Amino acid sequence: RPATMNAFELISTSQGLNLGILFEK
């Protein structure tokens, strides 16, 4: 399945890009 995905779709799932976590207490 990953082979059918676009690289950017995979990249955007990185924890390092999830700034929302800063607001979760």
Using CB under 8 A as the binding criterion, the count of chain residues that bind another protein stands at 23
User: Considering the complex, what minimum distance in angstroms separates the CB of residue 21 from another protein?
Assistant: 6
| Residue span 1-25 as binding mask against another protein, x where in contact by CB under 8 A, dash where not | -xxxxxxxxxxxxxxxxxxxxxx-x
Residue whose structure tokens are 């799932």: 13
Residues 2 and 10 sit within 8 Å (Cβ to Cβ): yes
- For the CA atoms of 18, 11, 6, 20, the dihedral, rounded to the nearest 10 degrees, stands at 0
User: Considering the complex, what minimum distance in angstroms separates the CB of residue 1 from another protein?
Assistant: 10
Using CB under 8 A, list all residues that contact another protein. 2-23, 25
